[in-house]
Structure 1
Amino acid sequence: MADLKPAEVEKAKLHFGIYDFEGINKVDAVRLGDLIRSLDLRPTNAAIEKAGGTKKKGEKLLTLEEFLPIYSELKKNKDVGAYEDLVEGLKVYDKNENGTMMEAEMAHTLLSLGEKLENAEVEEIIKACGGTTDEDGYMKYETFVKNILAGPYPEEAAAQ
């Protein structure tokens, strides 16, 4: 891939190998989103589906040669939220204009906007990324956004 650096290709090969559960040099397309996200990208489920991801196991298998152009294309995709955009959107819920919002409003927002999440997923996200909640049920939304954008392993992102 002309637009992927050699280090990116090597990292993609390593991650591809991890998701090759059967050891056949192919990855089930149902795992495409997981594979792409393991490479520090944050595409939507719709973008993954458009790129060739499937909803059912066994429908389609991808080789590394098929995967690298998909990775390259999704890497170019800028359709992910930036920190400033997300914070600006959450200011709507900042009734006290002090950088906080009700935890319940955050949960409602996560449940009702964007891609469909389950209650248990929302609770887990808020617990992992929300920081502390004060006695009135308010949380700092900037902390939440920073933690979300840091990804599941922020210490790895900081080391890169």
Structure 2
Amino acid sequence: MRYRRFGRTELQVSAVSLGGAYLRGDDPDRAQENAREVVGRALDLGCNYIDTAPLYGESETLLGGALAGETRPFYLATKVGFKPEGFDYRRDSVLRSLERSLGLLGRSKLTVAQIHEAAGISKGGFYHHFTSKEDVLTAVLMRLAFCGSSKVLA
């Protein structure tokens, strides 16, 4: 497996990552077993970057189960801003989304927390909830720093 520097960080991530959108497989009765097999195989092959999001259905729950007790090193990324009723970029909603993801993933920290579909909101719409980019970053970083939750915020 080849590894590359992740953006401007010092993290070395696998050139091929595991996306969590389709971990469930075709048989709902084997969803968790399928997720464990897929994640285990990806880690066996050297994949060390795993991406998920609340938008991906059961992905965070399945990944939480598949990664429980995992001792091999990996980086875990999720996204905030989505809830079943749609996207919500208000400060409290973003922080609740992060908390929920941490719980479903069975983690106290993440490597990367991204704002899902942020490119699709207008500057005016975004700044209706946050006074500036710095405001959203400060809110999330303060939350992450408080519990030591993330290494990187993208």
TM-score interval, smaller chain: under 0.3
TM-score w.r.t. the length of structure 1 is: 0.27
Give the number of the structure whose residues are more often helix, by fraction: 1
